[in-house]
Structure formats: C-alpha cells, structure tokens
Amino acid sequence: MSDTGGEWQVARRRKGASKSSKSLQVSAACGQESLDVGKTVKRIRDTMSELRCEEFWHDWKEQLLVAASASLSKSPADKDAEDQPERIPRTCQQLECVCYGLGPFASCVSARYQLAMLLLLLEAGQIPLKDCSVYDPVFSSGERDVLRDLGLTVLSENEEGKRLVEKPTFFYLMHCGKALYNNLLWKNWSARGLPLMIIIGNSFSGMRDRTIEKEFTRDYSYISKAVDFSVERKLVCPSHLIDVFNDTAVITFPSNSLNGLPQSTWAESPEPQYPHSPDLEIILKETQS
C-alpha cells in the first residue's frame, strides 16, 4: 500500500544485504510531501486498523505480554508475584516505553506501519501513551506535532541510546543501527539493569550472522556478549510486510541467566567508541546540525 492509494510493493533486497538504519537511509517508497497533521494522524489510525486484522498481530501482542509478565514479576513494583506464580498479568501498565529511530513516518510507508504497530502494542498492554518517549533526529517539526497529538512524549535530546533504566522498560527499536543497541546495553550493563529491559527490535543473533566476527566483537562488544545470554523470541513477519517487520524479535535478559555469569562479565564496561566505523548507523549528537 502506498500513500497515493496504489498497491503495496514489496522491495526485495539482494541476498546477504542487511537493512541499514532508517535515520540514514530511507527507501524509495519514502517521498517528501508537505505535512497535514490531521491527515497524517488519520493515516496512522487507518494503518492501526489494518494491522489489527492481520493474523501476525496477535502473536506480537502475546509475545510482549509474556515478556512483560516475566519482567514485572522480578520488579520491586510487583513484590507479591512470587506468591502467585500462576498469575500472568494481561497488561503492562507498570512498563515505561522508549522508541528510538522510527524514521520519517509522515512520508515513509514502512515507518508509518512501524509506528502503528507501536501504538497497537501500547494499547494492548494498556501502557499510557504519555509513558512512551519517542525520538529520532530526522523527525520534522510537523511529525513531532503528530506524535504529541497522538499522546506520546517527544524527547528533545539525542540520547544516542544511552538511557539508564531504573524500572521495567519496553524499548521499541525497529531497524536501528547496531551502535544504538550497543550503547543501550553498555548504559545498563549489570545483572540488575539488563533484566529490566524488554527490546522489540533487530535480532542480536541476526546482527552477529551478518557482521564480520572480528568487527562485531571489536566495535559492538556489548551485543557480542549479550547474544550468548539474552533470550530471543522471533516475531512472525508476513511476506507482504517483509521490509517493514523482518528480522524482528522480542529480546529479554533473564535474571537467572545473568546471575550465573562470572563477576568479570561486569568488571570492565568502558563506554563504546567507534573509531573503526566511519559509516556508523546512528546520528551522533555532535554531527547534528
């Protein structure tokens, strides 16, 4: 489906090619047009209605709820969970949400579908819209107005993914660059911090498989380590939306796995630097105009 009413055309990538950060590369389907806030909001809500009718949506919803129940049961906010092991919360109200790298959703079909999916997940988990913070340096002023109109919280600072988590948090990171994931892991690199995170985004094992091993361990050391103890649950992606939701997983960090790791795992955690990555897939604060 396109914004002009035409058929949705699946763009096929050559075998072995990975999808780069939307913040730096927008597909040919993403044209430029003047923004009408009301019209854009309607398009997003129409896309939500379309996705509700998709069979794969129910799998995404269930996977988030299952991951959230596990995360919240380990949180101080849910102290009675151990006395009720059979109880599975059907909401995620205690979760905060952070979304980075969504892309120019007013002009890009893929980004609009991804925003619509985020809104459906928030709705399904009963996460208040105001508790979901969104940021992408490519957002136009009009797109920021649309996000506020929808009820979301628009961040004003480029955090580069370096957000310290202090309570259970759902990160929505669709097709973001590896450096952003790596920065997020670094900021929360402890046996206490990582279990507070639920990530819906690119598969860590997929990143490893698509990257030269030497470069992966050198430049993205936190992802390289986390891939061995994180739990990934692949999310269903229908063929007609392959360029929108491909290679997506729910990623969690179970406490029981982390507690069994040697203390040396957490002993040295230097802030990531990327001197060997001239084509870094995120926009850094100092490079923003």
Q: What is the pLDDT of residue 15?
A: 36
Output the pTM of the full model.
0.84
pLDDT of residue 30: 52
Asked if 106 and 142 count as a contact pair (C-beta separation under 8 A), the reply is: yes
Helix extents (H) in the chain = 37-52, 55-73, 109-124, 141-150, 178-187, 204-210, 213-219, 221-226, 242-245, 255-259, 264-267
Q: Which residues of the chain have pLDDT under 70?
A: 1-33, 73-93, 287-289
- CA dihedral sign, ordered 216, 219, 220, 224: positive
Please report, for the chain, the start and end positions of each structural domain, with discontinuous segments joined by +: 55-74+94-266
Class at the top of the CATH hierarchy for domain 55-74+94-266: alpha beta
Report pLDDT for 87. 45
pLDDT of residue 140: 95
pLDDT reported for residue 64: 92
Spatial contact of 75 and 196, defined as CB atoms under 8 Å apart? yes
Q: In this predicted model, what pLDDT tens digit does every residue of 226-238 receive, in sequence order?
A: 999 999 999 999 9
Q: In the prediction, which pLDDT does 272 show?
A: 94
